[in-house]
Amino acid sequence: MTEVRLEGLEKLIGRATVLHPLTLTIDAGEFFVLVGPSGCGKSTLLHLLAGLDQPTAGRILFDGVDVTDMEPRDRDVALVFQSYALYPHMTVRENVSFPLRVAKGTRRLTTSAVEHEVRRVAEFLGLEGLLDRRPQELSGGQRQRVALGRALIRKPRLFLLDEPLSNLDAQLRASMRAELRRLHEELHITTIYVTHDQTEAMTMGDRLAALNHGSLQQVGRPDEIHDAPANVFVAGFLGYPSMNLLAAEIRTEEIAAGPLHFAVPQGLPEEVRQCGVIVGIRPEHVRVERAESHGDGVVPGVVRLVEPAGPTCWVTVDIHDRQDHVAVTGTSVSGFFPKIGDAVSLSVQGPVPHLFDPSTGRRYGSV
């Protein structure tokens, strides 16, 4: 197992900064996820780790050894691409065994040893009956397992996965997520996984790092980031439906986000009280009921969108007399599933909402 340390790693292309100076430690044996929107620098960082690209500044260390200028073949890193990158003219056996067949010097194995390793990896990945087929004869999930097998057969010190599931259908993605976690638990190879899918990030990673515009936004366990997002970007990007983010005013004894009102939390800095804030409310903390519901804290609205999700549904509600809309997870009255255009009542349940600085986007804290 290998610890990865990045120290002030930066990447410029021309005058454009693709990756701002980044310092980060990935623990040995960890399944670490890099998550963010397209173009945020995730794949660039992965290519720097693999040695396919060189940083403009900073260092990359594997177990304390500087590998920044080391050739890719000498880093003992396996990279799995989004496109599988299989050789179409080769069989599964030839694709999987390729890294061993081209090895030189002391790393070169006999033909029988190579075949033994191929059989071992094929059995581990369920490819035994596919070894004589070519890639065009395989399904997307089977091709993905072949690409994984070609990487695993090298027994690398570091496993890099660049959006490997994005070409698969939803059901197959779910099963492959479970398969990748199983592989990691059995092999204990330090794994760095790149994705723009927040569901993959939140369900797969021991820890994750959120990136945006080449800058590191937050690092932590999925539950830590969900419960205490560092800023507006992280709050809105991670979690589905996204956190509701509403402009609000701080009054003497309450925070007012249009018709939604909350008590001012104790310990709120005085400078915060002098300006507006952004209120963040998780959809699971919003209760939706029939329009006849009344009482303190109940806000009327009209259903804008309904997304059925099995026994529950995700609802987006327009709040009367405002441009804002609020996402709600589930229905809180048995048998009540709103339809588009229905009049409903909303109320906020659970913890007091998150507060964010409107000028910097920084979170004041979970209060």
The token pair that represents 2 in the structure block: 């290998």
Q: Is the pLDDT of residue 230 over 70?
A: yes
Cα–Cα distance for residue pair 360/325, rounded to 1 Å: 23
User: CA 71 → CA 53, 66, 345, distances in Å?
Assistant: 10, 12, 62
- The pLDDT > 70 percentage for the chain reads 92
The strand ranges marked E within 141-228 are: 158-162, 190-195, 207-212, 215-220
CB atoms within 10 A of CB 101: 12
pLDDT at 91 over 60: yes
In this structure, is the dihedral angle defined by the CA atoms of residues 51, 56, 62 and 65, taken in order, positive or negative? positive
pLDDT reported for residue 156:
86
Non-local CB neighbours of 334 within 8 Å, separated by 6+ positions: none
**pLDDT band for position 105 (cuts 50, 70, 90):** low
Q: Which of 319, 314, 331, 309 is nearest to 279 (CA)?
A: 319
Residue 70's pLDDT is: 94
pLDDT tens digits for 11-24? 999 989 999 999 99
Gap between the Cα atoms of 245 and 231, Å rounded: 11
Residue pLDDT, tens place only, 38-52 = 889 999 999 999 999
Q: Tell me what the mean pLDDT of segment 325-349 comes to.
A: 74
Place of tokens 């900064």: 17
Report d(CA 221, CA 223) in Å as an integer.
6
Other beta carbons less than 10 A from residue 53's beta carbon: 16
Instruction: Return the higher-pLDDT residue of 310 and 341.
Output: 341
- Domains belonging to the chain, first-starting first, are 4-236 (3.40.50.300), 243-366 (2.40.50.140)
Nearest CA to 131 out of 156, 114, 107, 108 is that of: 114
Structure tokens at 289: 């009921």
291-308 pLDDT tens trace: 876 666 688 888 888 888
| Contact present, 46 and 34 (Cβ < 8 Å) | yes
Question: Which residues touch 91 (CB under 8 Å, ≥6 apart)?
Answer: 131, 132, 133, 134
Least confident of 130-144, 147-161, 203-217, 318-332: 318-332
